[in-house]
Structure formats: C-alpha cells, structure tokens
C-alpha cells in the first residue's frame, strides 16, 4: 500500500468507528476540498452510501458558486443535507462586510455561533428535501454529539495539537492541555452526558495528499480552486470578503499538484489568503477554542 | 501491491525524553536546517520574540500555541513535517513533563521510530527511563538515542560513554536495543546534519544521516501472518435497492480471498467469503493487511460487531477470559481490584476486572520490581486480567494488533497494555463471586420449599428473546396474565423500566450491555429468590449473555423463549415460537411446560 492508500484506509476506519458509537452524528461540509474529500471517504466507508447528515454553515457571504455546487452534489449523491445560519447577526448586520465589526468578530458571529447553536439544535436547521429539490425546516432538534470535521494537522499550529476523537465540553470549549490519550487505533468512543466529540479523520493528511487523492479518485471538486482564465485561483475557500485569490494558472488537479510540489507555493502556508488568521498572534487558535473549525 | 519507486515514503518519528532535555530546540534546528519551514514562519516567530523582548530560540518555532509559550512546556504530541532528499518525516513532539504522559504515549503509539533525548549534563532521569520502557511496550523497534547538550560538558567522550552504557543496560531489560547513541548539541548544531568537528572521537552517523537509515514500515510481514479481521460493523443500506449485507472492517494482518472459509470468534460461526466490497474501485478478489474493506458472505451469518473473523485453515487466535499483561496506567483514579472496567481490544469491547497485580516496575530509581495491590497514575506493571465474557486475542509477540488493548475507566482511556500469556482456565473470578454470593447470603425465616409448597409452583426466570418488533412483549404480558389466573406468583417487568431506573446510570450504547446483563441477572436472582415467576424480554444478540444470565440466576432456573428466527444462535432455548405468534397460545405452551401441582 502506498501512503495515500494507507491514509485512506485509516480515515475509513475512523469514520466507521464514529458511526458505530455515535447515535447523533453529523459531518461538517464547508464545500472546500478537504471536507469534500471527507465526504468522498464516507462514501468509501459505507460503500457508496452516506448514512451521516451533512451540515453546512451558511454565512451568506460564501461565493454563490459554492451554494450551487453544494445543492447539486446533495441531489446527485442523495445526501442528507442540512444548513444553519446566524439569522440575528445577519439581520442586525453585525458583520465585517457591513462595516460594523472586525473580521474575527464576524467569524465568531457567522461561523462559530451559528455552528454552535445549529449543532445544539437551539437555532433552526434547514434540511434538503429531495422530492421538492429545496430546503425546509428540519423537524429534528436533537443535539449532535459527534461532529466529523475535515481539519488537517499541517494547516497551522493549533490544528497540529488535535486528537482524532477530541472531546469538547457543553460550551464547545477545547481544553488543549488535557486531552485523552489515543493508543494505536483505539480512540475515545465513550463520553459523559453533556459532552460531545469532534472527530477528525483527515488529521494526518497534508494539502498535497488531499490533491493527490482528488486526482486518484477523480473527485468532482468545486472549480473555484482552478484558474478560470484570469490568472488567479483560490487555494483555500471561505467567505468572499476575506478570501484572497492566489496568482496561478493551474487549471486542472494535475497542475495544482505540480504547483504544490515544485512551484511557488511549495513553501507558502495554505491559509495565507485567509485574512482573519492575521488579526492577532493566535487568531485561529482563539477561534478554535470557541468552537471554530 | 505495487508502490511507485519515485514516491518518497513518509516515516513518523516520536521525540521523547525528560523535560528540558532539549527536544524542542533539536526539532526547531532540524526544521530550519532542512529548509522545511513554511515561508514566513521563521520571520513570524522572530517578530513575536522581538515583540515580547525575548531572544529568539529554535524551540519557539514549535510553540505554536499561546498556552505553551506561557507555560514553557510542550503540552501535546504535535506533528511536524519535514523532508530530506530521501523521504518525508512526520515528527511527533511528545512532551517530557510527567503530567502529560498520556500525550507522550499518544505520540509514541502512532510513530514508527523513536528518538530519545538525554541531557548530557543531567544524565538519565525518571522520564528517560519511563519513556524508554513505554517506547518498548508501545511496540517501537527502531530507537535512536541522542545525548544532547554536549557543549555543556565540553564534548567529553568519557561521560558520553558512561551515560550510553547505563541507558543501554536499562533498555536491555525490556529487550530494546537502540540503533545508535549519538552525542549532539542541538543548540550549537553539532552532529545534527553533518558530523561534528568538536567530537572527532565520534565515528557514527550524524542525526539526520541516522534518520535516513530508519526503515519505513512495511506491510509484507503483516500480509504473511494469519488473517485477523476485527468486525467493525455489519451494514445494510437499503437505499436504492442495495441488498448487500456487508461485513466491514480493516484487515489487521493476513489476507482474504473470495471463496475462503472463515470463522467468527468467539462465537465460532462459520461462513465463506462471497465477494469483496469497495466503493469506486475495480472489483477485487483478494484483500490484504492494512486495507479497509467489506465482505459479503454466504451462507448468511449473524454476528455482532467486535467479533474477529479468521480463516478456518490458518493458525487460530486464543479464545479465553483470563490473561497476563503488561499495563501502564494513566487514570486519575487508580486501577483497583473488584471494579469493572471496559477493555477495548481490536473491535471488541468487554467488561474486565483486575485479578491481581503481579509485579510493578518503578521508574523513580533504576527500574526495580515492587509489590503492590493497585496501579496508581503512571505505574507500569504486570497484571492478571479477567473479562466477563470470552474474547479472541493473540499474544503481543505473535500478532501485535490483536495482543494490545486499552482500558476505559469512567468514559476515559486510562490505561494500555499488551498481552503476554493466556491464563484461561486457571481460576475464574466470576464463578468464584457467584459461589461466594450463594455461600454468604443471609436468609430470612422462610425457605424456598415453603414458598413452593404454598404457591404450588417453583420460582422461574422466563426470558423472551428475539429481534426487535417480534411481538415479545405481548406474549410476555399474556403469559403473566395466564399465570396469574392460575394463582401463580408472577411479575412481568418491561425492560424499559430497568433502563429508566436501575440502569439509568449506564450509557445507552451497546458496548455497556455487559453491565446491563449482569444487573438483570442479579435482579432475576432476587426475584426468583422471592419465589416469583419473573418474566422479561430482551433483544439478545450475544450467545454468551444467556450463559451469563444462567450462571447469575443459579440455583434457580431460567426458561428461555425464542421468538422469531433464532438468527444469533442463542443456545439453551426451552421453547421456540414464531414471530407474532398468538400470544394466548404461547402463554398456554409455557404454562404447560412449567410444573404446577394445582392447575
């Protein structure tokens, strides 16, 4: 088995382990390449089916292509697709693009808070109805106790400290200093009432691994990652006001891989285009403690 | 399987050692000198140091988290990637502080090699020893030892050799032979990348050269071993007419081919591989160690996740309930006798008890052997364990993935261990406990024959088993009614009532069912002791549960009614009835089967 095959097998094992032990399991799908690979791995783990609901947090500042792609794939792969949002912050215009808060606060409002309350079931969830081809309020208000997330250890400092099965307390807080041990392939699959777990099947993957896997499996990835003829492309996807494009003429997966291996991005951090990371010394870390993915 | 020769392998190495022996400096230096830092990282850390008026150190590169910089210790097993022209490395930076032992263990359990760092000036410390034997227990066979901070002892050969001899002797007790001892100074960069001019007496490899000599793990040996396929799940997704019933898991060792005859353990059920299932991959007829696949089987068998699938023609694993193991304990509360813990081995979860601590290894001095009754936090000891139900396992030396386990205490993984000897059949804590319960029990004025005489019937435990929604509860209630009409002393308890009360403290997940079964058994023992015909229903899937219930209910008898197809092959069934059979008729059959003096 080569490295990609080993990574794939391990991720499948983790997904099946999560599916075995969690009744209220959900998988976050940001539409980006990592969580799309994760979704693909779920289809691998469950032989073409995705028996886990997918949750997207809609900040309403996502690029329109992302929402279109999300709903196309949801229909095509028969996904149990759910989205949540921070209605109040959006109505009161407590966002960075509205000029009322800084970037970090905007992330807190539209992502962290929306995620937290959608997971707990306090805020409405919208569920894709395959008959109607549209979203409708989800009747299920039970809290999700297991949340599968596509973070990778190589993304930035704080993510390299994650566990594969990482507990969060009721407030979604992350206690970095006191995490459960993980031995061989035995993870924390027991949890006290009132706690929940984040599950990270992609922790050991690198950005390059992700692209190589996309190529190997021919995973249909959103085309924002490729140059559309303007000489720029996204390397990491987020909300449009905070996602810078990189100068690149890579039009295919193979060209992206070539660029990562040998070209100008070989030594530049992936999230360098994400403006919110730069607002203070450990911006993303403070966000992650509060439940950001 | 063919691997691309041009593809560089990745190898993961854990760095361990006593606190402040210089691991972070070593790692920072390696990253910087192999040109492996992301652009801007070095500048970012330097700027942060300048902002906080601190001199820059290589160690700061790793302290990506604020927490760490405040406390000055590496908290977790962070993964850091770098490469040489030969291959990729994932370095797992394990904290040296004793409080974070579980983080060190986590790091080491995921590595293929270990780098142990010893401070030349301070010499071998408590955690140097502890990390040494943990590395050996966690199964790491490639170990490099560096004696760091040689600059602080003027690159003295003699003291290097003294430390080397002492540590080599210590590790030999755990059958661990390091690949190399290297004198280095991470701070000054000596013997890191190139051989040091400061230590001309050292003829061995520099650290980086030694790294490149490590061998990436190969699955060849695993593939040649007997098949071990722990069953993670049995899936049937009926969406879009998918009729496959798929047995999913990862092959821990060996290989499996379409047509192979297989056995599930401990249940002993047999079948044959019909197909190998994978998504978005050409149909395969063979799967091998490391692959996460699924099988369909013919004839159909009903087994629970957690069972181990093996090949009928290959060497079999052991099936038993008692074994000797080396255990390291990380729990906040000690590992004690008499308490039930959850043991997780491969895909199996089972209730387990500590029978005895055989010998304890002490890290604080030179690793001497002590006698103790319990394991406190950070203790390592040889112990005797007993599971409530039999499990399939191998000895660690034979097939390591089936010979290692974790212990869960109060929702947390609190210990890990490796099995060194099968002790099944040499004593049985559970039977002893039942025997003791019967011998020591205190009786009232009444005796069982008195009750039977007045009631006209014996006490019984009537248990309806079968899958969900088979009409069990209706039959049970009808039986209660008919028995009552026959003046019998009877009580039907819906299992839900147990969950709502007596069992409300148990997590509602399948893996805690051992304890539920035990409590039901003890409850049945008390109810039958009161002379009652005690009735309940259970969706049993594990044949051993009936064995347990029988044992616990002794000396009173259990009457098992199987409703619907007995797919799980539950043994000892007294009466078999069809699903949704007429409940009145079933009740008649049961009453007829019981002995009544006055009908």
Is the torsion defined by CA of B495, B499, B501, B505 positive or negative?
positive
CA B67-B70-B74 angle, 5° bins: 60
CB-CB under 8 Å, B411 with A49: no
Same-domain status, A226 and A194 = no
Domain-embedded: residue A210: no
For chain A, residues with pLDDT lower than 70 are 156-161, 169-178, 263-293
CB nearest to B330's CB, from A153, A181, A184: A181
A212 inside domain = no
Set of chain A residues whose Cβ sits within 8 Å of the Cβ of B76:
161, 176-177, 179
Predicted confidence at residue A103, as pLDDT, reads 84
pLDDT digits (tens, 9 = 90+) for B542-566: 888 888 898 899 888 899 999 998 8
Q: What is the DSSP letter of B175?
A: T
Q: Which of B159, B165, B172 is nearest to B201 (CA)?
A: B159
Residue the block writes with tokens 């009532």: B497
Kindly give, in sequence order, each residue whose CB lies less than 8 Å from that of residue B214, ignoring residues fewer than 6 positions away.
Answer: B11, B13, B112, B113, B142, B144, B179
- The answer to whether the CB of B471 falls within 8 A of the CB of B563 is yes
Is B321:B391 a contact under the CB 8 Å cutoff?
A: yes
Q: State which residues form the domain around A246.
A: 221-277
Nearest to B588 by CA among B597, B599, B573: B599
Interhelix angle B472-485/B583-593, rounded to 10 degrees, is 50
> Cβ(B231)–Cβ(B252) under 8 Å?
no
- Chain B 83-102, CB below 8 Å of chain A: which residues? 90, 100, 102
The DSSP bridge partners found for residue A129 are A134
Candidates A160, A169, A191, A260: best to mutate against B (most CBs of B within 10 A) is A160
Whether the Cβ atoms of residue A199 and residue A165 lie closer than 8 Å to each other: yes
Residues B477-489, mean pLDDT to the nearest whole number? 93
Q: Average pLDDT of B135-151? A: 90
CATH number for the domain running over B10-212: 3.40.50.300
Using the Cβ of B105 and the Cβ atoms of chain A, whether some distance falls under 8 Å is answered with yes
CA distance A16 to chain B (A): 7
Q: How far is CA B252 from CA B134, B227, B232, B233, B292, in A?
A: 22, 7, 12, 15, 9
A108 in the same domain as A89: yes
Chain A CB contacts of B105 under 8 Å are 181, 183
Verify whether the Cβ–Cβ distance B292 to A157 is below 8 Å: no
Say which range, A65-74, B107-116, B134-143, B506-515, has the weakest mean pLDDT.
Answer: B506-515
Instruction: Select the residue from A13, A39, A47, A179 to test the B interface by mutation, using most B Cβ atoms within 10 A.
Output: A47
Taken in order B279, B285, B290, B293, the sign of the CA dihedral is positive
A9 touches chain B (CB under 8 A): yes
What separation, in Å, do the N-terminal and C-terminal C-alpha atoms of chain A show? Answer: 31
CA atoms within 13 A on the CB side of A182: 21
Q: Is A240 exposed, middle or buried (0-12, 13-18, 19+ CB in 10 A)?
A: middle
The residues near A139 (Cβ < 8 Å, ≥ 6 apart) are none
**With 80 as the cut, is the pLDDT of residue B119 above it?**
yes
Q: How close B100 gets to chain A, by Cα (Å)?
A: 8
Cβ contact (<8 Å) for B239 and A217?
no
Tell how far CA B462 is from the center of its chain.
Answer: 35
Say whether A156 and B78 touch across the interface (CB within 8 A).
no
Mean residue pLDDT of chain B comes to 86
Residue A75's alpha-carbon distances to A72, A128, A134, in angstroms, are: 5, 9, 10
Answer whether B416 sits within 8 Å of A183, measured CB to CB: yes
Of B40, B250, B406, nearest to A183 by CB-CB distance is B406
B113 torsion bin: left (phi>0), alpha (psi -120 to 50), beta (else): beta
Closest Cα in chain B to A17: B232
Average pLDDT over residues B391-414: 92
The encoded tokens of residue B536 equal 């309940």
User: Whole-angstrom Cα distance, residue B123 to residue B393?
Assistant: 40
How far off is chain A from B563, nearest CA to CA, in Å? 27
Q: What is the pLDDT of residue B323?
A: 96
Of B9, B38, B138, the CB nearest to A268: B38
CB B400 within 8 A of CB B416: no
Using 50, 70 and 90 to split pLDDT, how confident is the model at B74?
Answer: very low
Give the chain B residue nearest A12 (alpha carbons): B292
pLDDT at A163: 84
Q: Quick check: B595 pLDDT over 50?
A: yes
Q: Is A262 on the interface with B (CB under 8 A)?
A: no
State the DSSP code for A111. I
Residue B4: pLDDT band (50, 70, 90) is very low
One domain for residues A244 and A99: no
Q: Please give the Cα distance from B263 to B313 (Å, whole number).
A: 10
Domain boundary assignment for chain B: 10-212, 224-311, 320-430, 445-593
Q: Please give the C-alpha separations between residue B411 and each of A92, A180, B43, B229, B506, in angstroms, as whole numbers.
A: 42, 10, 43, 26, 11
Q: How confident is the model at residue B175 (pLDDT cuts 50, 70, 90)?
A: confident
The answer to whether A204 contacts chain B (CB < 8 Å) is: yes
Question: Alpha-carbon distance B209 to B196, whole Å?
Answer: 13
Domains identified in chain A, total number:
2
Q: Do residue B290 and residue A1 have CB atoms under 8 angstroms apart?
A: yes
B237 touches chain A (CB under 8 A): yes
How far, in Å, CA of B345 to CA of A36, rounded?
Answer: 32
Residue B133, pLDDT > 60, answer: yes
Query: DSSP 3-state assignment of B249?
Result: strand
Position A213 in a domain: no
How far apart CA B453 and CA B439 sit, in angstroms, is: 24
Closest-CA distance, A185 to chain B, in angstroms, reads 8
Q: Do B406 and A1 touch (CB under 8 A)?
A: no
CATH number, span B445-593: 3.40.50.300
Q: Taking the C-alpha atoms of B495, B500, B502 and B508 in order, what is their torsion angle to the nearest 10 degrees? A: 80
Closest CA in chain B for residue A192: B411
Is any Cβ of chain B less than 8 angstroms from the Cβ of A207? no
Min Cα separation A211/chain B (Å): 15
Query: Distances in Å between the alpha carbon of B522 and those of A202, B553, B555?
Result: 45, 7, 12
**How high is the pLDDT of residue B79?**
65
Q: Is B329 an interface residue toward A (CB < 8 Å)? A: no
B320-430 has which fold? Elongation Factor Tu (Ef-tu); domain 3 (2.40.30)
Q: What's residue A286's pLDDT?
A: 59
> Both A260 and A182 in a single domain?
no
Total length of chain B = 599
Q: If you measure CA to CA, which chain B residue comes closest to A206?
A: B81
Q: Are B262 and B312 in contact (CB under 8 A)?
A: yes
Span B148-163, pLDDT tens digits: 999 999 999 999 999 9
Which residues of chain A neighbour B138 with C-beta distances below 8 Å?
183
Beta pairing, strands B246-250 & B318-329: unpaired
pLDDT tens digits for range A144-201: 989 999 988 777 555 556 788 988 765 556 666 667 888 888 998 888 777 788 999 9
- Cβ <8 Å between B250 and A267: no
Q: Which of B39-48, B122-131, B201-210, B504-513 has the highest mean pLDDT?
A: B201-210
Minimal C-alpha gap between A269 and chain B (Å)? 6
Residues of chain A numbered 39-98 and touching chain B (CB < 8 Å): 43-49, 51, 78
Mean pLDDT along residues B385-396: 93
Tell whether A183 is within 8 A of chain B (Cβ): yes
What ipTM was predicted for this assembly?
0.90
Looking at the fold, whether A68 and A124 belong to one and the same domain comes out as yes
Dihedrals φ, ψ of B147, to 5°?
Answer: -100, 110
CB-based contact B16:B101 (threshold 8 Å): no
Amino acid B67: pLDDT = 40
Question: Chain A contact for B597, CB < 8 A?
Answer: no
Q: How many CA atoms lie within 13 A of B154 on its CB side?
A: 1
Least Cα separation, residue A275 to chain B (angstroms):
15
Contacts of A272 in chain B (CB under 8 A): 40
Measured between beta carbons, which residues in chain A are less than 8 angstroms from residue B278?
Answer: 44, 47
List CB contacts (< 8 A) between B10 and chain A.
3
B599 pLDDT band (50/70/90 cuts)?
A: very low
For residue A136, list its beta bridge partners.
A127
Q: What is the Cα–Cα distance from B11 to B113, expressed in whole angstroms?
A: 8
Tell me how far CA of residue B115 lies from CA of B78, B82, B142, B213, in angstroms. Answer: 15, 15, 9, 13
Q: How many CB atoms lie within 10 A of CB B398?
A: 16
Asked if residue B134 has pLDDT above 90, the reply is: no
Cα radius of gyration (chain B): 30
B80 vs A: CB within 8 A: yes
* Cβ atoms of A116 and A168 closer than 8 Å: no
Question: Is it true that B224-311 and B445-593 share their CATH fold?
Answer: no
Class of domain B224-311: mainly beta
Q: Distance between CA B531 and CA B447 in Å, rounded?
A: 10
Per-residue pLDDT, B530: 92
B342 in A contact zone (CB under 8 Å): yes
Q: Is B378 left (phi over 0), alpha (psi -120 to 50) or beta?
A: left
Q: What is the distance between the alpha carbons of residues B330 and B167, in angstroms, rounded to a whole number?
A: 24
Q: Return the pLDDT at B72.
A: 39
CA distance B328 to B382: 9
Cα B105 to Cα B99, B109, B114, distances in angstroms: 12, 6, 12
Is B1 in contact with A157 (Cβ distance < 8 A)?
Answer: no
The CB density around residue B495, as the number of other CB atoms within 10 Å, is 18
Which phi and psi angles does B15 have, rounded to 5°?
-105, 120
Q: In chain A, count of helices (H) and strands (E)?
A: 9, 10
Q: CA-CA distance, A201 to A165, in Å (whole number)?
A: 9
Provide the number of CB pairs (under 8 Å) joining chain A to chain B. Answer: 177
Mutate to test the interface with B, among A184, A195, A220, A267 (most CBs of B within 10 A): A184
In chain B, residues with a C-beta closer than 8 Å to the C-beta of A265 are none
Same domain, A8 and A27: yes
Q: Per this entry, what is the length of chain A?
A: 293
Distance CA B251, CA B314 (A): 15
Return the SS3 of B250: strand
Nearest-angstrom CA–CA distance, A215 and A10:
19
Q: Is residue A71 part of a domain?
A: yes
A190 and chain B in contact, CB less than 8 A? yes
> Residue B594 — very low, low, confident or very high, per pLDDT cuts 50/70/90?
confident
Same domain (yes/no): A49, A154: yes
- Please tell me whether the peptide bond between B266 and the residue prior to it is cis, using omega within 30 degrees of 0: yes
Q: Is B502 exposed, middle or buried (0-12, 13-18, 19+ CB in 10 A)?
A: middle
User: Which residues does residue B521 pair with via DSSP β-bridges, in sequence order?
Assistant: none
- In CATH, what number is assigned to the domain containing residue A77? 3.40.50.620
A186 and B79 within 8 Å at the Cβ level: the answer is: no
Among A50, A177, A269, the residue to mutate for chain B (most B Cβ within 10 A): A177
Interface check A251 vs B, CB under 8 A: no
């Amino acid at each position: 088995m080569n490295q990609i095959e080993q990574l794939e097998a391990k991720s499948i094992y983790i997904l099946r382990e999560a599916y075995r032990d969690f009744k209220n399991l959900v998988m976050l799908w940001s539409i980006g390449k990592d969580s799309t690979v994760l979704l693909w791995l779920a289809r691998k783990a469950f032989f073409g089916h995705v028996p886990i609901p997918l949750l997207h947090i809609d900040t309403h500042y996502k690029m329109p292509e992302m929402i279109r792609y999300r709903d196309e794939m949801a229909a095509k792969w028969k996904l149990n697709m759910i989205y949540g949002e921070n209605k109040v912050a959006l109505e009161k215009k407590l966002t960075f693009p509205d000029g009322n808060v800084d970037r970090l606060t905007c992330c807190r409002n539209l992502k962290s808070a929306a995620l937290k309350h959608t997971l707990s079931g306090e805020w409405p969830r919208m569920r894709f109805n395959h008959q109607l081809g549209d979203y409708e309020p989800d009747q299920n208000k039970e809290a999700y106790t297991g949340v599968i997330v596509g973070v990778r250890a190589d993304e930035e400092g704080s993510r390299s400290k994650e566990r594969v099965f990482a507990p969060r307390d009721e407030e979604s807080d992350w206690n970095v200093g006191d995490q459960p041990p993980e031995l061989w392939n035995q993870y924390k699959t027991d949890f006290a009432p009132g706690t929940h777990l984040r599950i990270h099947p992609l922790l050991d993957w690198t950005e390059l691994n992700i692209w190589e896997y996309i190529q190997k499996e021919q995973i249909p990835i959103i085309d924002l990652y490729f140059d559309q003829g303007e000489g720029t492309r996204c390397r990491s996807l987020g909300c449009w006001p905070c996602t810078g494009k990189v100068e690149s003429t890579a039009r295919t997966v193979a060209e992206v891989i070539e660029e990562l291996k040998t070209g100008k991005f070989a030594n530049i951090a992936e999230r360098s285009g994400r403006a919110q990371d730069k607002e203070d010394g450990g911006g993303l870390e403070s966000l992650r403690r509060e439940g950001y993915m | 399987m063919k691997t691309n020769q041009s593809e560089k392998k990745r190898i993961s190495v854990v760095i361990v050692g006593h606190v402040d022996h210089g691991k972070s400096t070593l790692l920072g230096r390696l990253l910087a000198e192999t040109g492996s830092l992301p652009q801007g990282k070095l500048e970012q850390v330097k700027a942060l140091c300048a902002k906080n008026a601190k001199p820059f150190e290589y160690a700061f590169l790793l302290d990506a988290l604020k927490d760490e910089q405040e406390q000055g210790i590496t908290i977790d097993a962070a993964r850091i990637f770098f490469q040489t022209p030969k291959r990729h490395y994932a370095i797992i930076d394990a904290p040296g502080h004793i409080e974070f032992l579980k983080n060190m263990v986590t790091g080491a359990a995921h590595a293929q090699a270990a780098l142990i760092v010893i401070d030349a000036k301070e010499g071998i410390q408590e955690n140097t020893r502890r990390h040494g034997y943990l590395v050996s227990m966690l199964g790491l066979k490639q170990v490099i030892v560096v004696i760091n901070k040689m600059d602080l002892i003027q690159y003295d050969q003699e003291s290097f050799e003294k430390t080397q001899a002492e540590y080599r002797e210590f590790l030999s007790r755990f059958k661990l032979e390091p690949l190399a001892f290297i004198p280095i100074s991470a701070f000054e960069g000596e013997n890191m990348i190139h051989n040091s001019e400061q230590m001309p007496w050292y003829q061995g490899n520099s650290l980086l050269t030694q790294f490149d000599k490590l061998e990436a793990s190969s699955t060849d040996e695993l593939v040649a071993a007997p098949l071990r396929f722990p069953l993670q799940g049995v899936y049937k997704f009926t969406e879009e007419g998918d009729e496959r019933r798929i047995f999913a898991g990862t092959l821990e060792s060996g290989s499996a081919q379409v047509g192979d005859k297989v056995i599930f353990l401990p249940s002993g059920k047999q079948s044959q591989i019909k197909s190998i299932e994978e998504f978005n991959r050409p149909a395969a007829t063979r799967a091998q160690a490391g692959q996460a696949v699924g099988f369909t089987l013919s004839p159909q068998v009903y087994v629970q996740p957690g069972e181990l699938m093996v090949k009928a023609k290959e060497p079999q694993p052991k099936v038993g309930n008692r074994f000797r193991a080396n255990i390291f304990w990380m729990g906040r509360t000690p590992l004690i006798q008499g308490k039930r813990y959850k043991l997780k081995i491969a895909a199996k979860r089972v209730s387990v008890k500590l029978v005895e601590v055989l010998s304890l290894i002490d890290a604080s001095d030179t690793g001497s052997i002590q006698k103790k009754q319990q394991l406190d936090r950070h203790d390592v000891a040889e112990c005797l364990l007993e599971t409530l139900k039999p499990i399939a396992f191998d000895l660690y030396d034979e097939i390591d993935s089936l010979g290692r386990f974790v212990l869960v205490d109060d929702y947390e993984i609190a210990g890990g261990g490796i099995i060194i000897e099968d002790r099944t059949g040499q004593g049985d804590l559970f039977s002893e406990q039942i025997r003791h319960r019967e011998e020591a029990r205190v009786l009232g004025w009444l005796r069982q024959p008195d009750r039977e005489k007045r009631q006209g019937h014996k006490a019984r435990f009537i248990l309806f088993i079968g899958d969900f929604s088979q009409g069990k509860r209706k039959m049970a209630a009808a039986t209660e009614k008919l028995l009552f009409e026959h003046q019998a002393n009877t009580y039907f308890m819906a299992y839900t009532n147990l969950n709502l009360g007596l069992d409300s403290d148990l997590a509602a997940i399948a893996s805690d069912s051992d304890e539920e079964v035990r409590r039901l058994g003890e409850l049945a023992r008390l109810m039958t002791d009161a002379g009652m015909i005690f009735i309940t229903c259970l969706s049993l899937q594990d044949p051993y549960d009936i064995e347990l219930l029988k044992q616990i209910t002794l000396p009173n008898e259990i009457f098992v009614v199987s409703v619907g197809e007995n797919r799980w092959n539950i043994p000892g069934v007294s009466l078999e009835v069809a699903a949704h059979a007429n409940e009145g008729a079933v009740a008649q059959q049961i009453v007829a089967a019981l002995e009544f003096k006055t009908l």
